[in-house]
Structure 1
Amino acid sequence: MASLLRLQALFSLTLATPRCLPSHLRCVAAVASPVPSRLPAAASNGSPEQRASETTLESGLYLVATPIGNLEDITLRALRVLKCACVILSEDTRHSGKLLQHYNIKTPLLSFHKFNEREREPIILKRLHEGEAIAVISDAGTPGISDPGMELARLCMTEKIPVIPIPGPSAAIAALSASGLPTEEFTFVGFLPKHGRSRKARLEVSAREAVTQIFYVPPHGIQQFLVDAASSFGDSRSCVIAREITKLHEEFWRGTLGEANEAFATRQPKGEITILIDGNSISIVEKPSDDFLEHELRELMAKGHALSTAVKLVAEATSAKKKDVYALALRVFGK
């Protein structure tokens, strides 16, 4: 009985104390915690080996995806990792504190955002080298995807520190899945550059691509984005504007960029916005390079074809004009 009382006291101290205990002690205490109520039951299923792995957390950097709105959109594994980690790096500790409080997670928070990540990185790497398990979360969604975490993960890989993804919510994927636009291929652009010329250049690149383009747009910038996008993509290109995904006022607006400009000209939407634009349906044939044409000409002539015949065959097999191929042949091989 005395041993049992000492063990219970150790568990109470673990939950109340912010310092990081050895992983096997901290994780057992975390799993013994009553919230969420379904976590212990879920962890108790499966083989003894599986149960053992679910109550331990190895040293490394854990990139934990968190809800983009609805707090129910979090995995049991994410909850376990957040409970068992020595510390949680958070983009906004006040915002993340609400999520942790909702699930009664007592793990200490440390701010980690674009303004202090360079300063924090040496300290974090030191703690990881000492054997700690550190979790990274952003305000919403998956860390490192238009959020802090990418550079830290890269540093860890350089230092041979394990980087473990804990997958979950992503606004881009959620919006794409319900957009009605082609999903076989897509380009995730994220936030555009702030500088006007760079922003325009990036939109021009996206406008030429044949796959669905996905952008993150701040609420205050939607009007300017739609004006710039219509200029690059054209008014008739189809788009989807997804707002407040998984939240009470979730909205999917569908139409053309021209219609979107009219609809949002005087409307200032709130919340996070993901905009998807249909790919370019007009096939853009890339002009072959001179090096490629020269190589093809040499191959044909090596097989015994006359120069004039080689020029004809290359022109027919590519998008190059015959006169251009002939001019190149004259420059390279002479008359």
Structure 2
Amino acid sequence: MTAPLEVSGGSAEAQPEAVTQGLSKKAIQGRSLGQIAWMRLKRDRVAMVSGVLIVIMVIAALAALLLDRVFGVIHPNDFHQDLVDPDIQTPIGSLGGVSWAHPLGVEPVNGRDLLTRIFAGSWISLLIGFCATMLSVIIGAVMGVIAGYFRGWVDTLISRLMDIFLAFPLLLFAIALAGVIPDKAFGLTGDWPRILVLVFIIGFFNWPYIGRIVRAQTLSLREREFVDAARSLGARSPHVLFKELLPNLVAPILVYSTLLIPTNILFEAALSFLGVGIQPPTPTWGGMLSDATRIFQADPWFMIFPGLAIFLTVLVFNLFGDGLRDALDPRAR
């Protein structure tokens, strides 16, 4: 059926209501940038699988924190001397004492369960990685957007500050500072003072990496029409910075954050491996690797699973970050 026509001055014109009458409301519904990015991300199976694995890891880390520190259900430091040969101090049986009760085996000498220790140590690595990344993102985003927007001497000062932080020997400073932290500080006891110091060291000294990215993006965005429109309407600099520029920087900040988290996890594992991170007997992935290389030299079996936990965690974060980057900015492929 054709649309009804109205004859006006010898010409036939279709009514607007008649033109849109046959169209469904859903067909003319627009999509936001977030919805478009989500559609692209759903097509990337590798990124979606990585995202699901990240969610599972986070849930497992939270469960490990609650079961270990709150409810005390799991006991990662329990010794099982009956599972260790008293003469050669190695696990009884093949493959490090693998059994139904201990699927990944037990450690030599003391017989602690590997699976329980890897599970109990997951929350420390993810907590330090997430919190340190959040600190770096907050400082880097604010400093980068200020440097890119104001330019001039402000940009010069912040850029030279970034250069100083990038040239700072972070690993040596972390070893020197983390090695002298007492067990009781800042009103906290146990492992929490050391966790707090590691978050500060890793997060505070890594902000220039994201600061440079935000500064470069801000230099481009500050010349766009919506910024000129905000200025012409009398918007002050804080409004332009935090209401106009920062919302348009969410995509690069989000993408780089997913790539910075595994870097921070590796840094924490390196400090624990060197003996200046979280101290024994608290289980950490880096500490378990250190024990495997120094104490359990007789069998490389005990290096596989903590190393595999670090490898898989870093891998899924990197794959998800790559997929998120392609979804938010397909032109960067």
Structure with the larger helix share? 2
Mark yes or no: TM-score above 0.5. Answer: no
Q: Structure 1 length normalisation: TM-score?
A: 0.19
Q: Structure 2 length normalisation: TM-score?
A: 0.19
Structure with the larger strand share? 1
